[in-house]
Structure 1
């Protein structure tokens, strides 16, 4: 059984179970990948909001990554919420020290409601230390704009932003259109820019408030598919199908922005 694909998620814990490492592990499990974790922060949150954030010490973050990297055969790593400059630098150092493969970066910078989750100087650190190590980076529109300083209004501006992220060192850029200003439109469009090609993926826009953890789940699915040996293009296509199913079959849990349905997509 030792040939089971194994992946690591480095992210925050969501007590409400919809995002962060909880979403990542559920996604890994649904995609037949064994998940390991390094927790960067413990949060007290539910579908109504975040009530407390407790950062994990740098020594403990480093020890978690070391413990996992030295014992498991990791074939992909997902990075979610890092929180501050010190954590970003610590994680970046660990990625190199343990030569961790196939980094998928979900640059958790801006919350669903538009609130910044990373201070400006931490954004600079993310660009300097983590983005260059990313095989895939999956910003939403506000995050792509914050990382590049480019206002994204169409495919041309999306490509300009993506090429800038690639100049920083990221390999493949997925700019997610869910936060698009024309969010009244019936279609949700994502722009994907690999080193050699570009393509778009679209899905119907489903009217629901149960979208907590979509970004985590999407990038976790990409990570799981890469861990299984699939190409980046295959991984992104599967992740788009996975998250579309998860959004369009809501569980209707909680009293606010509820979690997506990690059970919804069944293809194998």
Structure 2
């Protein structure tokens, strides 16, 4: 087995919205070209945690962060960090498709255009490559200039993934990417996630423990303490977590959600 390379290192992370503490003392490594699942009960800070990995939380209000989050050894909370560049390198896909009310092509090209000018021919290639990477090309290649909002929910979510891929991120954060999708669309997204792991590091929040077991390499189980503050209960290889979890809370959660 090849030696694992840490893409994101989290150490003693405490996270606050205003004065309210949401996460306490989170420490874990997210490994390059691996799929890491984040699971746990509602209210344990899963979504807050992954948004802290590219500072998306700052768009939601006043925050305070203690501890360190390093992206290939760079402290992402340093004042010198270029946020736009950081969020291109660490992209995010939300639970529900958040497409713009424009055509399919312009949705995918949006982030690329913001990052810098490209000749039309080059932009065409970038858009096509991203849509193909999201396994959507055959379904939309003849309607690139039609509204993206006319696609099915599953197609819209894959288009959101294509938009994230177009700017060539190193890490893709996915917050319940199959939430609300039917089983067929869910399978397509899972297959897509699995196919991307050779090129990307993926961190995925999921409420579906079976999904975590199916497609992730590593799993982090979050819970809450007596003050309802989110904490990392257990982290390890997915097979270890699902078959030989150390903490009783992890075992109870998995056994209660696999049936």
TM-score of the aligned structures, taking structure 2 as reference length: 0.34
Higher normalized contact order (CA 8 Å, seq sep 6+, divided by chain length): 2
Higher Rg: 2
